[in-house]
Structure 1
Amino acid sequence: MTQYLIAIHHLGDYDPFVAEDKAMSRDIDALNDEMKAAGVRIFVGGLRPASSARSLRAQPDGEVLSTDGPYLETKEHMGGFWVLEAADLDEALAWGRKAAVACRAPVEVRPFH
């Protein structure tokens, strides 16, 4: 079985405490319960807004430069994710579809090496 990342993407100013109502939280909780019952969920995590990120870049002189903010400046960022173990891409995509509905957001499904 292959492990897959199911990543949820949000707009840059997304605040889960404002955007996520009781219905969305209930839908996400139900999806988590379904994933656990199916035995596919390895790990799940929500991320704080991209503005809370810190980026580290190795420099040619061996120093590491630390900057405030995300590594990439984009309009969207990853807001949370699941790591699942699925039989194949089709199964992972089926879970990704459910995640897109529950989270009301775009989802990326990507296999691990």
Structure 2
Amino acid sequence: MSDGRPAPGYSNTTHHQKVPDDQIKEWLMELISGSGYAYGYHKLTWALRRDYDLIINKKKVYRLCRELGILRRQHRKHVHHPRRIAKNRKITGSNQLWETDQIRLY
């Protein structure tokens, strides 16, 4: 299995100038030094596009951040859905309580 095509080592600006990945890494380090903890590779991608007129993909920014070791843990929201079981009813066998979804017809 191949690893895909090799990375070109540069990105283009909107003015058709090539910017090497090392320069982009410096810009990334500048962006995170002033922002504290409020950054992620999506936000960094938009900042590079806005501030430096780069044509760059979020996947490339993710790869560069991974190479620099500046990726933060992703916070996953754990949604707990409570089980809605018949309460205050004594059920001793099958077919004693049926529950259905409410359907609203307008």
TM-score, normalised via structure 1 length: 0.27
Of Structure 1 and Structure 2, the greater strand share is in 1
